[in-house]
C-alpha cells in the first residue's frame, strides 16, 4: 500500500526471537517451577551474577532444567535459596511440586512463619506454627536449637516429604518423612503436621507467643485445613533458620 512502511527485522532479531520462543515453550511444560523468561537474559554468561537473590543465571540449556520464579519477599531470600537447593537435591522423592512449605524458625512463634508457596506464581500464604519444647526449654517464643534425637521433643531442620494422612490425637493430620541427616528420625519420633489448641492466634494474644509441641509442626485449625488441601502426600516441606 502506498505510504505504508513495513517493519523490518534483521536476521539476528529473527534468530533470537525464534530461540526465545523455543525456550518459553520448554519452560511452560516443566513440572518444577514455571518461569517467564526475558529474552535479553538468554545472552547472559553462565558465570554472571544473578540480578537479585531470586533470579538464576539463564542460558538456553539451563532454563528447562532449573526454571525459577520470583518468590514473595516476605520469606527470607537466604532461606529460599536453601529450600531450593534442598528441593533440587530431593526432587526424586517428591511426586507433587505445585506447592511447597517453608518454615522460618528464625522468627518468633508469635509471627506467621509457616509459608505455603505456589511454585508457579511465587505467591505465599502465611501461618502460625509452634516449635518443639526441646528447642525452647525456657519458652521464650524463639527456637534456640534443633535436634534429631529421639526423646528430645525438639524441632528438626531440613527437607521433608509429606507421606500420608491419618487420624490421631489432634484429629486429621499429616505424617512427614525426613530426607536429611538432620531429620532422619522424623518417622521414629512421630513428627507430623497437626492442629493444636496452643497454636491458635488467641494464644498469641494471651501469652505473646504460641505454646510448644513435642517437635511436630502444630498449626491453627484453619491453617491446617489449607495445608491439608494444598500440601498432601508427595509434597515438599523445608524447615530451617538463618542465624
Residues 171-197: pLDDT tens digits?
999 999 999 999 999 999 999 999 999
Q: Do 179 and 87 share a structural domain? A: yes
Q: What CA–CA distance (Å, rounded) separates 152 from 191?
A: 12
In this predicted structure, what is the pLDDT of residue 176? 98
Of 22, 92, 81, 88, nearest in space to 53 by CA: 81
Residues 137-151: pLDDT tens digits?
999 999 999 999 999
Look at the block and give the residue holding cell 508457596. Answer: 117
- Residue 119 in grid coordinates: 511454585
Range of the domain at 31: 1-69
- Reduced to 3 states, what is the DSSP secondary structure of residue 195? strand
Q: Do 227 and 121 share a structural domain? A: yes
Look at the block and give the residue holding cell 525426613. Answer: 178
Domain count, the chain: 2
Which residues have CB under 8 Å from 41's CB, separation 6+? 58
Q: Do 77 and 128 share a structural domain? A: yes
For residues 66-70, average pLDDT: 65
Residues 207-243: pLDDT tens digits?
999 999 999 999 999 999 999 999 999 999 999 999 8
Q: Do 87 and 153 share a structural domain? A: yes
Which residues have CB under 8 Å from 94's CB, separation 6+? 87, 161, 234, 235, 236
Q: Do 94 and 61 share a structural domain? A: no
Q: In the 8-state DSSP scheme, what is residue 130?
A: B
Q: Examine the pLDDT at 106 and tell me if it is beyond 80.
A: yes
In this predicted structure, what is the pLDDT of residue 56? 37
Q: Do 209 and 144 share a structural domain? A: yes
Q: What CA–CA distance (Å, rounded) separates 201 from 7?
A: 60
Q: Do 85 and 65 share a structural domain? A: no
Q: Do 22 and 118 share a structural domain? A: no
Q: Do 141 and 90 share a structural domain? A: yes
Helix (H) / strand (E) containing 226: helix 221-230
Q: Examine the pLDDT at 160 and tell me if it is beyond 50.
A: yes
Which residues have CB under 8 Å from 216's CB, separation 6+? 130, 132, 190, 191, 192, 193, 194
In this predicted structure, what is the pLDDT of residue 69? 80
Amino acid at each position: 500500500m502506498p505510504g505504508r512502511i513495513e517493519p523490518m527485522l534483521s536476521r539476528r532479531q529473527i534468530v533470537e526471537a525464534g530461540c526465545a520462543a523455543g525456550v518459553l515453550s520448554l519452560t511452560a511444560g516443566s513440572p518444577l517451577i514455571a518461569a517467564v523468561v526475558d529474552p535479553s537474559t538468554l545472552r547472559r554468561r553462565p558465570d554472571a551474577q544473578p540480578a537479585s537473590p531470586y533470579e538464576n543465571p539463564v542460558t538456553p540449556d539451563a532454563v528447562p532444567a532449573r526454571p525459577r520464579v520470583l518468590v514473595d519477599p516476605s520469606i527470607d531470600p537466604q532461606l529460599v535459596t536453601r529450600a531450593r537447593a534442598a528441593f533440587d537435591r530431593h526432587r526424586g522423592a517428591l511426586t507433587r511440586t505445585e506447592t511447597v512449605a517453608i518454615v522460618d524458625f528464625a522468627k518468633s512463634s508469635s509471627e506467621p512463619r509457616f509459608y505455603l508457596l505456589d511454585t508457579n506464581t511465587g505467591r505465599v500464604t502465611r501461618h502460625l506454627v509452634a516449635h518443639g519444647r526441646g528447642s525452647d526449654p525456657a519458652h521464650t517464643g524463639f527456637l534456640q536449637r534443633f535436634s534429631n534425637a529421639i526423646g528430645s521433643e525438639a524441632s528438626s531442620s531440613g527437607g521433608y516429604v509429606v507421606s500420608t494422612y491419618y487420624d490421631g490425637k489432634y484429629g486429621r493430620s499429616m505424617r512427614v518423612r525426613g530426607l536429611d541427616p538432620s531429620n532422619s528420625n522424623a518417622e521414629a519420633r512421630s513428627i507430623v503436621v497437626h492442629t493444636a489448641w496452643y497454636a491458635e492466634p488467641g494464644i498469641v494474644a494471651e501469652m505473646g507467643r504460641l505454646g510448644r509441641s513435642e517437635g511436630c509442626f502444630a498449626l491453627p485449625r484453619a491453617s491446617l485445613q489449607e495445608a491439608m488441601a494444598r500440601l498432601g502426600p508427595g509434597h515438599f516441606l523445608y524447615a530451617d533458620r538463618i542465624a
